[in-house]
Structure 1
Amino acid sequence: MDVVLELTDTFIADYVYAYAHPLKSAAPYDYLDVANNSTAQPLSSWQFKTSNPYFPVEPSKYAYMSAWDRDNVYRQGITLFLITWIFGFILYFVFATLSYLFVFDKKTMEHPKYLKNQMWLEIKQANRAMPVMSLLTTPCWLLEIRGYTKMYSTPADGPGLWYEILQYPLFILFTDAMIYLIHRGLHHPLIYKRLHKPHHKWIMPTPYASHAFHPVDGFAQSLPYHIYPMLFPLNKFASVGLFVFVNFWTIMIHDGEYVANSPVINGAACHTMHHLYFNYNYGQYTTFWDRLGRSYRKPDDSLFEKEKKMSEDQWKKQVKEMEKMVKEVEGVDDRSYDPHGTKKNN
């Protein structure tokens, strides 16, 4: 995240902080004098040291003109919060919209358990949650950029070239195990209705449900991504790529396109089983931990047959068992379902 922060500072934040919180001094600041005269003193004692060994970008004079230089923890916290919120929103909205337009099966909106105005409700909930999730995530980013993790910049700084490949499956294995435990814990009766139920409002989710969480729930399930580099080495550029991948995967398992008929991959079909029947398939990427924890439910084979996937018989079967599970897990079903014929108004 320090690379993302450095680029944001260079092209946006330096100018904003120089204007909003300028450094007070009686002497005028001449950037060219500082660059060409070794005796000239800049207003700020901060010195630029790049976090990006591959394509460093020299800061402008505005980097030296704020009372909060780039190393100021308050400035870093504010900027990281805004990066997480804005960048997260862009990832969510762009990928979810692309998924909705080109992948999502629109017939899902005719399912008897599709909610009234559901897609709009999903978007509203996601956008209410994102700033709070971003605020909770900011201390994790601060720990990272201030050197409290095992992040490294180049292969020469890491364990070795072999690790540049191995870190990806290790990251997936670690986070998959941690998310399984956290997610299953969120289904405990003392926790479920307080934190996790808002995400289970969506029985037949659209891609926009991917980030429609209670903010504490969303943050809790993201914690493994921040814990991993505290315990194990992780290339900082791989970390940014994995952050994008995680958001993409979260959308993909809510897109209703049942492609991965695999006993190993926890794809959209497996995750649909979780939304329909609650107490199964807690894993994020694989079915391994669900199998080990005896919470795996194999998706019906008919889900992978286009003509049967959205059939009335399939829906009746799903509704019957889903209503039984709702009574067991939640008691009263307080959702407002979309009456037949109004789906297109969403």
Structure 2
Amino acid sequence: MDLVLDFMDPHLFTPYVYPESWPENYWPRQLLSLFAIALIGGLALYLGTAALAYHFLFDKRVMDHPLFLRNQIRLEIATSMMSAPLMVLPTALMFLLEVRGLSRLYDGFPSGPSMVLTLGRDLFGFLFFTDMMIYWIHRLLHHRLVYKYLHKLHHKWKIPTPFASHAFHPVDGFLQSLPYHLYPFLFPLNKVVYLTFFVFVNMWTVSIHDGYYSVPDNLKYFVNGSAHHTDHHLYYDYNYGQYFTLWDRLCSSFKDPSAFNGRSLVVEAENKKK
């Protein structure tokens, strides 16, 4: 996140926001800046991506399903907006540790063939580690001693819309994002790749709630998409994965999506109307 601060400080924060007595490397200033960037930028990314997915991908016929709540979209957005500041605060603290040089984030890539190997290591390592960790964190959140206090709120949306993607209890939301922040403290990662993944992760989270089930046949076996995650909201004990189906298959929690087997929510909704 120091790349973002390096841009924002001279263009906004130093000339217009902070007094001269607060230098750019003053940690309370950095923390406030990171909190503001993460909160405003995160909400803008969430609302913008979810709105696009809702208007262009989400099949609104499912809103006639009996499990779709009255005023659900408004409730999803309200929950997200109220939880966001509390989710962002520990996130900003993690960003601060990175900015203060305590992570293994690095600038640039080596030249030549090693650049491809390094980029591949960063991409594969980040995806594998975060997918594995989120699977186990998500599964822990379904434990009977934890579920009703933290994760039950997110399962209020049995027929989720794209706006449900960030509608979590704040502790739940941060725990499921923790692997993204933990990775660069354990393994080397390029700073640009890290920022790209931060945006990508937020967009992916929206995508698995968008109700758009069209996935190429050759990817259905591997990719945990919206069809898989919709069944998770409906049946609870299946499809905990984030990106891939690997850990669900290894740990016997995989469920072949109902939408791939002719049992779509749209059909159920239309049948209920008859």
TM-score, length basis structure 2: 0.93
Indicate how the Cα distance of structure 1 residues 311 and 4 shifts in structure 2: closer, same or farther if over 3 A, else same: same
Matching residue of 2:157: 202
Aligned residue for 1:148? 102
**Corresponding residue number in structure 1 for 2:202:** 247
Match of 1:101 in 2: 55
Following superposition, the deviation at residue 82 of structure 1 comes to 0.4
Q: Secondary structure at the match of 1:204?
A: coil
Alignment partner, residue 255 of structure 2: 297
Matched, 1:9 2:5: no
Counterpart in the other structure of 1:52: none
Deviation string 1:133-153 (CA, Å, 9 cap, x unpaired) is 111111100111111111011
TM-score by length of 1: 0.74
1:131 — aligned with what?
Answer: 85
Q: Deviations over 1:142-175 (max 9, x none)?
A: 1111111110110139x94111133112211110
Does the CA contact (< 8 Å) of 1:17 and 1:68 recur in 2? Answer: no
Unaligned ranges ≥5, structure 1: 22-65, 317-339, 341-346
SS of 2:25's partner is coil
- The one-letter amino acid of 1:311's match is V
Q: 8 Å contact 1:259–1:304 — kept in the other structure?
A: no
Q: Distance in 1 between matches of 2:137 and 2:253?
A: 14
Q: Deviations over 1:64-101 (max 9, x none)?
A: xx111011000000000000000000100110000001
Deviations 1:192-238 (A, max 9, x none): 11010110000000000000000110000000001111111111001
Looking at secondary structure, tell me which structure has more helix per residue: 2
**Kept in 2: contact 1:137–1:219 (CA 8 A):** yes
The CA RMSD measured in Å over matched residues stands at: 2.0
Partner of 2:76: 122
Contact 1:273/1:299 (<8 A) preserved? yes
In the superposition, relative to structure 1, how do residues 230 and 160 fare at CA in structure 2: closer, same or farther (>3 Å)? farther
Q: Distance in 2 between matches of 1:305 and 1:288?
A: 20
Give unmatched runs, 5+ long, in structure 2.
none
Amino acid at match of 1:269: A
Aligned residue pair count: 268
Q: Residue 65 of structure 2 contacts residue 265 of structure 2 at CA under 8 Å; is this kept in 1? A: no
Structure scoring higher RCO (CA < 8 A, sep ≥ 6) equals 2
> Where does structure 1 differ by over 3 angstroms across 4 or more consecutive aligned residues?
304-309, 312-316
